[in-house]
């Protein structure tokens, strides 16, 4: 940690062509530059060719710190880095030592899940500050003689360190820089909603309340879960809420540094696809070996910065098939199923409406369209009614809506308004929870029997499906579940059953006399299923 520099330039003139005055001038220039340049400071303590290998990753992190100090970057930074890539050595040791010299009187709090690691950081920072080189760079920056504790100590100029673990209260002093280094200890704690909520509560109650008006927050962590601390603080909803409250300065800038580059266009280090993050030590071959021995959710979370819950990934999205709208069989009965949210707060769920049809003969489920929106019932009512009216001519004669608790009145309203044109069904969720409700149609995904109509909504739907049931939102999933129950009735496994008023085979329609004729988008058969037949076909459901 403490490099040895020659006290004179003997031998350097022969080896490098440097005179004693050249050497002294160069060292003095570097020392002076290190006062304001973090990279120079770091290299003085960790000279090239030493035991510390400095890669592009570390240079990026060093520059990020410099940019925050210089005002080029904002004061809210979150950085996700794979384990064992040297992030803490840069950010929780040398960056803090440099800041204590660079900004006289600065108060820094270091937090993280492990007291042992925090005390190690604290000791290393003290070692740097106590070195002769540090005193050359920052004369007069000395640790007070009466400060021997590892969790809290001060410099003679009034600056100091507080090192406390996650969940522990910080002292009453102000905090100018808050460094949070891995707030979650591992998978078990990150999987616990109770623990995640405690970490979030601690952040707001014990960290944010100590911040000085112009304070900086720097979170560096390995990701574990979509709703870990970084996930909560940088979520779409949180950003929208802060923006709506005119608190843009509180929005975190997000940097994700995946172990292996998957997106060259957006890679912070400008790597090629397949390149390792720290190839000098952790090669692509080494990382591929790690990937082979890790569950997918661990690799995606810890190494790629795409956090997944251990219980997520209920389906293999690669088994979903895609189809153009014109190839959806037009003779099938279509439904529009709605999962409502009655408020428009950014923290609320979405209102989602899925248009679907199912071919029991071919065992194919088609998700034709998905609508997703935040808004009050007044706003969404018009949208739902407009869609219902516009889709009547397309054969969508059934509309389902979840009618529990406060949603019964909207369902009754839609029923009364669409009476005689569209059958409105009130659906009550079965026991067993959202996952149990969705499993029948999720099993169709696994069987390769689910088709999505290609459209812009696919991206959001697949992102929600990928994280289900641990994701932040599940409104589109619920809408599909409601639609599935409407299409198959009480027979939730989706096995073949007679259709109301008709036994049309897939791909063909029957005229009243029973003669089959082909159908097409420009030659739609008249629909023989009446509203009364639909109502009587599934007596287990509530029809107002």
Angstrom distance (rounded) from CA 132 to CA 219: 31
Q: DSSP letters of 264-326?
A: GGG-TT-PPTT-BSBTTTB-HHHHHHHHHHS-HHHIIIIITS----TT---S-GGG-EEE-GG
Mean pLDDT, all residues of the chain: 84
* DSSP H or E segment with residue 60: helix 56-70
**pLDDT tens digits for 374-403?**
888 888 999 999 999 999 999 999 999 987
| pLDDT of the residue at 97 | 97
507 conformational bin, left if phi > 0, alpha if psi -120 to 50, beta if neither? left
State the pLDDT confidence band at 176, using cuts at 50, 70 and 90: very high
Domains and CATH numbers, the chain: 74-303 (3.40.50.300), 317-543 (3.30.420.280)
* Paired tokens of 445: 């995904």
| pLDDT of the residue at 77 | 97
Task: Check whether 513 has a pLDDT greater than 60.
Answer: no
Which residue would you say has higher pLDDT here, 419 or 22? 419
Neighbours of 23 (CB within 10 A): 18
Q: Report the SS3 class of residue 162.
A: strand
For the ranges 74-83, 271-280, 487-496, the lowest mean pLDDT is seen at 487-496
Q: Is-contact 507 331, C-beta < 8 A?
A: yes
* Paired tokens of 531: 């509203």
Burial 514-525 (b: 16+ CB within 10 A, else e): eeeeebeeeeeb
Q: Is-contact 107 159, C-beta < 8 A?
A: yes
Cα–Cα distances in Å, from 108 out to 154, 158, 173, 242?
A: 10, 11, 10, 25
* Paired tokens of 91: 């950010």
Q: What is the mean pLDDT of residues 399-421?
A: 87
Task: Check whether 215 has a pLDDT greater than 90.
Answer: yes
| pLDDT of the residue at 371 | 96
* DSSP H or E segment with residue 365: strand 364-373
| pLDDT of the residue at 344 | 53
Q: Quick one: what percent of the chain has pLDDT higher than 70?
A: 83
Q: What is the mean pLDDT of residues 346-364?
A: 87
State the pLDDT confidence band at 405, using cuts at 50, 70 and 90: low
Task: Check whether 21 has a pLDDT greater than 90.
Answer: no
**pLDDT tens digits for 286-299?**
999 999 888 778 89
- Does the pTM exceed 0.75? no
- On the question of a cis peptide bond just before residue 351, with omega within 30 degrees of 0, the verdict is no
């Amino acid at each position: 940690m403490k490099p040895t520099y020659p006290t004179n330039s003997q031998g350097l003139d022969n080896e490098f062509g440097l005179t004693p005055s050249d050497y002294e001038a160069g060292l003095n220039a570097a020392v002076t530059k290190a006062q304001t340049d973090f990279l120079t400071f770091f290299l003085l303590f960790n000279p090239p060719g030493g035991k510390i290998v400095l890669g592009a990753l570390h240079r990026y992190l060093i520059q990020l710190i410099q940019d925050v100090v210089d005002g080029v970057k904002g004061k809210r930074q979150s950085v996700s880095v794979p384990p064992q890539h040297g992030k803490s050595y840069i950010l929780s040791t040398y960056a803090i030592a440099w800041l204590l010299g660079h900004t006289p009187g600065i108060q820094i709090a270091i937090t993280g899940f492990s007291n042992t690691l925090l005390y190690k950081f604290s000791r290393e920072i003290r070692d740097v500050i106590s070195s002769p080189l540090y005193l050359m760079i920052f004369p007069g920056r000395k640790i007070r003689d009466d400060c021997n504790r590892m969790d809290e100590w001060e410099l003679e100029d009034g600056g100091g360190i507080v090192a406390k673990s996650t969940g522990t209260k910080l002292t009453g002093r102000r905090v100018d820089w808050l460094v949070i280094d891995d707030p979650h200890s591992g998978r078990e704690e990150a999987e616990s909603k109770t623990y995640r909520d405690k970490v979030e509560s601690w952040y707001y109650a014990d960290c944010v309340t100590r911040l000085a008006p112009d304070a900086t927050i720097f979170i560096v962590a390995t990701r574990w879960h979509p709703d870990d601390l970084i996930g909560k603080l940088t979520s779409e909803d949180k950003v929208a809420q802060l923006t709506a409250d005119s608190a843009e300065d509180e929005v975190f800038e997000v940097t994700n540094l995946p172990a292996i580059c998957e997106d060259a266009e957006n890679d912070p280090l400008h790597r090629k696809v397949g390149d390792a993050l720290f190839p000098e030590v952790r090669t692509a071959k080494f990382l591929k070996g790690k990937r082979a021995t890790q569950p997918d959710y661990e690799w995606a979370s810890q190494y790629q910065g795409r956090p997944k819950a251990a219980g997520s990934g209920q389906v293999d999205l690669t088994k979903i098939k895609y189809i153009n709208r014109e190839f959806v069989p037009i003779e099938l009965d279509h439904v529009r199923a709605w999962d409502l949210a009655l408020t428009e707060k950014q923290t609320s769920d979405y209102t989602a409406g899925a248009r679907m049809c199912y071919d029991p003969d071919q065992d194919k489920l088609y998700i034709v369209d998905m609508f997703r929106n935040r808004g009050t019932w007044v706003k969404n009512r018009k949208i739902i009614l407009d869609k219902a009216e516009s889709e009547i001519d397309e054969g969508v004669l059934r509309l389902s809506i979840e009618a529990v608790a406060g949603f019964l009145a909207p369902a009754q309203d839609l029923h009364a308004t669409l009476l005689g044109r569209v059958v409105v069904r009130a659906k009550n969720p079965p026991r067993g929870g959202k996952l149990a409700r969705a499993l029948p149609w999720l099993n169709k995904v696994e069987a390769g029997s689910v088709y999505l109509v290609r459209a812009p909504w696919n991206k959001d739907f697949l992102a929600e499906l990928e994280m289900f049931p641990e994701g932040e939102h599940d409104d589109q999933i619920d809408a599909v579940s409601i639609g599935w129950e409407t299409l198959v009735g009480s027979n939730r496994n989706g096995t073949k059953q007679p259709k109301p008023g008709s036994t049309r085979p897939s791909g063909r329609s029957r005229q009243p006399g029973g003669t089959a004729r082909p159908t097409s988008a420009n030659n739609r058969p008249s629909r023989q299923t009446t509203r009364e037949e639909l109502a009587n076909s599934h007596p287990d459901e509530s029809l107002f």
